[in-house]
Amino acid sequence: MSGMASDPNNSSQEEYIPHYLQKEDPFASKLSREADIIAGFYLTIIGILSTLGNGYVIFMSSKRKKKLRPAEIMTVNLAVCDLGISVVGKPFSIISFFSHRWMFGWTGCRWYGWAGFFFGCGSLITMTAVSLDRYLKICHLSYGTWLKRHHAFICLAIIWAYATFWATVPFAGVGNYAPEPFGTSCTLDWWLAQASVAGQVFVLSILFFCLLFPTAVIVFSYIKIILKVKSSTKEVAHYDTRIQNSHILEMKLTKVAMLICTGFLIAWIPYAVVSVWSAFGRPDSVPIQFSVIPTLLAKSAAMYNPIIYQVIDCKFACCRPGGLKAKSSLKKSR
């Protein structure tokens, strides 16, 4: 009788079989060959633009590395994360899309999933640190003036340690990396939440510490900044030119940070929504053809940041009296 009583419990945990265990070849593409080729060309363009753009940001920053402000150091770290995604991750998916299947087996799948999550988490936590830096600079001047370059480097160490911890946790037996439903890319095994309570705890922990909490900090910081700027704009007009220029520079850095965070979240939130639905919704309720679109959108996030940085930089230079001369003199003063 006891054996019969245990059967329903076992069947309730085993009734859901993840998509990558339902067929003998989990890495065969579930898309048409034409769709794979289009996705491959798309990622190739994204990868080239991202590599050139972020490489340019890193190169230009290295020429004035001793003069970088804390917020600019964080921007460079963001470029490093984006370059890492482009160089380490995108070639795997590009080759697989053109080959109409994932070409690198389970070892390559886990490596690709780890690298994507590691650099993606590093990007989001870097933007969280940037938003806090902007919040302290704009809303709490006494703390803002206290933040120095060595604090930025301490923050970088914390960011990399945080990303390494959460990206490596799945290898400790509480999670895993698995192929996407369409077969030619890999990600966190969101489908563990369908199999057990331990899987649900793992997925919820990842969602909270690597998405919801950082996003809440970012949103809080910029809402406070917007409210502060509205109330203090008239006050700054009465200060001397040096203070006004410093305020303009801080606002420029804040605009860059806000746009970068917005672009990142717009790119990644659809993917997060689909992942959460796959984890906690009805099994296989997300059509395979639909699941590939948020994935491709998320992979394009690394391309936006250098474009945003350059657009704001040029706009800042052109809008000031004297145009590019003003920009040159401002760089010298910095």
Q: What is the CATH number of the domain that holds 217?
A: 1.20.1070.10
Residue 306 covered by a domain: yes
Residue 24 covered by a domain: no
- Write the DSSP assignment of 140-166 as a string of letters: -HHHHTT--HHHHHHHHHHHHHHHHHH
Residue 1 covered by a domain: no
Residue 20 covered by a domain: no
Q: What is the largest CA-CA distance in the chain?
A: 88
Residue 196 covered by a domain: yes
At residue 40, does pLDDT exceed 50? yes
Residue 331 covered by a domain: no
Q: How far is residue 60's CA from residue 64's CA, in Å, rounded to a whole number? A: 7
Q: How far is residue 133's CA from residue 257's CA, in Å, rounded to a whole number? A: 10
Q: How far is residue 309's CA from residue 255's CA, in Å, rounded to a whole number? A: 9
Residue 329 covered by a domain: no
What number is the average pLDDT over the span 172-182? 89
Task: Give the tens place of pLDDT for each residue, 200-247.
Answer: 999 999 999 999 999 999 989 888 888 887 766 555 545 545 555 565
For residue 12, what pLDDT is reported?
40
Angle at 321 between CA 316 and CA 325, to 5 degrees: 75
Q: Three-state SS for 286? A: coil
Task: Give the tens place of pLDDT for each residue, 45-60.
Answer: 999 999 999 998 899 8
Beta bridge partners of 188: 177
DSSP H stretches of helix in 89-212: 90-99, 105-139, 141-144, 149-168, 197-207
Question: Which H helix or E strand runs over 186?
Answer: strand 186-188
What number is the average pLDDT over the span 69-98? 90
Total structural domains within the chain? 1
For residue 233, what pLDDT is reported?
56
Predicted confidence band at 44 (pLDDT cuts at 50, 70, 90)? very high
Higher pLDDT, 155 or 321: 155
Task: Give the tens place of pLDDT for each residue, 239-279.
Answer: 545 555 565 666 776 777 788 788 888 888 889 888 888 88
User: pLDDT exceeding 90 applies to what percent of the chain?
Assistant: 36
Residue 3 covered by a domain: no
Q: Which domain holds residue 140?
A: 33-315
Q: How far is residue 118's CA from residue 81's CA, in Å, rounded to a whole number? A: 9
Higher pLDDT, 306 or 40: 40
Tell me the helices (H) and strands (E) count for the chain, helix number first. Answer: 14, 2
At residue 319, does pLDDT exceed 60? no
Buried-exposed string 250-274: b where 16+ CB fall within 10 A, e elsewhere: bbbbbebbbbbbebbbebbeebbeb
